Structure 1
């Protein structure tokens, strides 16, 4: 009787521990800094710019979107939180991204490797400082997380476009092509009737030749 009671208690304790483990959010095992080669930068000035619907969306009229990635998922695990430092016209500002998504930030773990995004007012500069990430893995000295790309605002604080890098040459064609009218020979809608018509003409010619040969034999 005592053995059965002990087994039941052990089972209940095990189930309770499993439930707590499932319900509890991931705990941080280490802290790593941002890749120093990525900062300082504005969203418009960053080398890789891309707007993705499931990573913050955009482009927005007055907001920049920043997207971060945690490389080496087997070693570093997933993001638990990010602590970001920005330089703004009104002074330094910090922003945090956590596992609890908000309208302006989220951690995304279903894209192959852990990613995080945040929206900020247009024109802010991401700085190094204490910009760090708490992760579930076990980092080694020199491990970093990366700013993978940005989606700059379509209009900066003063209304000037920031999504297009400055100094980018505009290619202007040297010759103006005449407008194309009619149907080209490469158009399938033209090629199919042409092929059918040619086949009918060829078949008719063959029938005519065979008939003439037959008539010639009959006369001879």
Structure 2
């Protein structure tokens, strides 16, 4: 009788331990919130790397681009709902997988820009292989969320939170032109000779005319003198 009673006590104790363990495990699991549902990412969005996804860098959605990190942005198309959380699983090159939960992970957040969006920043080169989300509202057949875009790491980050490349101003060339313009002479222009300035080829001008005229008058006077003298001789003779 005592042996049977001891066995019953042992079985009851073991059953109680199992039930307590199960209760503790149930309490450790996150409890679903009332009025929410779990949905999956559009299967056409995975698997993909950030470099293969549509590109976009927004300061309100993680910023970038960064030198060695990728930004991932998820969108919930239903404007009547919001993300509660997003859980994304990534494949790490040569190092297994990693699961991150938004907004609990570092460098992650849930915001609303027209629709509910969630973003997270992870090391460069990870591949998104799957994702699920808890969203507000009751279950709805076919409801999914999407990977709207990514901002892939850049080897030459701009350092600007907007991710907009900073343009380098074009320097104004200072080189001297190879063709030197011909300057117009500044000296007095040589005027074409007018009619009054044509070269004189004959005997003209006051300086030359006066001596010749005087000699002519002298010659006439001498001739007249000899003529008168000759006539007087003939008369007296």
Among 39, 63, 69, the residue aligned to 1:32: 39
Q: 1:95 to 1:52 in 2, by over 3 A?
A: same
Note if contact 2:90-2:128 (Cα within 8 Å) is conserved in structure 1.
yes
Separation in 2 of the partners of 1:122 and 1:135? 28
Note if contact 1:56-1:65 (Cα within 8 Å) is conserved in structure 2.
yes
Where structure 1 has 5 or more consecutive residues not aligned to the other structure, the ranges are 1-25, 157-178, 180-220
User: Could you tell me which residue of structure 1 aligns to residue 115 of structure 2?
Assistant: 113
User: Could you tell me which residue of structure 2 aligns to residue 57 of structure 1?
Assistant: 63
Q: Give the TM-score taking structure 1 as reference length.
A: 0.53
Where structure 2 has 5 or more consecutive residues not aligned to the other structure, the ranges are 1-32, 157-172, 174-237
Note if contact 1:27-1:80 (Cα within 8 Å) is conserved in structure 2.
no
How well do the aligned residues superpose, as a CA RMSD in angstroms? 2.0
Separation in 1 of the partners of 2:141 and 2:47? 21
Note if contact 2:37-2:136 (Cα within 8 Å) is conserved in structure 1.
yes
Pairing 1:57-96 to 2, within 5 Å after superposition? 57-74=63-80, 77-89=81-93, 90-96=95-101
User: Could you tell me which residue of structure 2 aligns to residue 149 of structure 1?
Assistant: 149
User: Could you tell me which residue of structure 1 aligns to residue 137 of structure 2?
Assistant: 137
Deviation digits for residues 146-176 of structure 1 (CA, Å, limit 9, x no counterpart):
00000000039xxxxxxxxxxxxxxxxxxxx
Separation in 2 of the partners of 1:137 and 1:118? 23
Separation in 2 of the partners of 1:96 and 1:72? 21
Q: Is the radius of gyration larger for structure 1 or structure 2?
A: 2
Note if contact 2:35-2:138 (Cα within 8 Å) is conserved in structure 1.
no
Separation in 2 of the partners of 1:28 and 1:120? 30
Q: Secondary structure at the match of 1:145?
A: strand
User: Could you tell me which residue of structure 1 aligns to residue 102 of structure 2?
Assistant: 97
Separation in 1 of the partners of 2:72 and 2:122? 8
What is the deviation of 1:45? 0.8
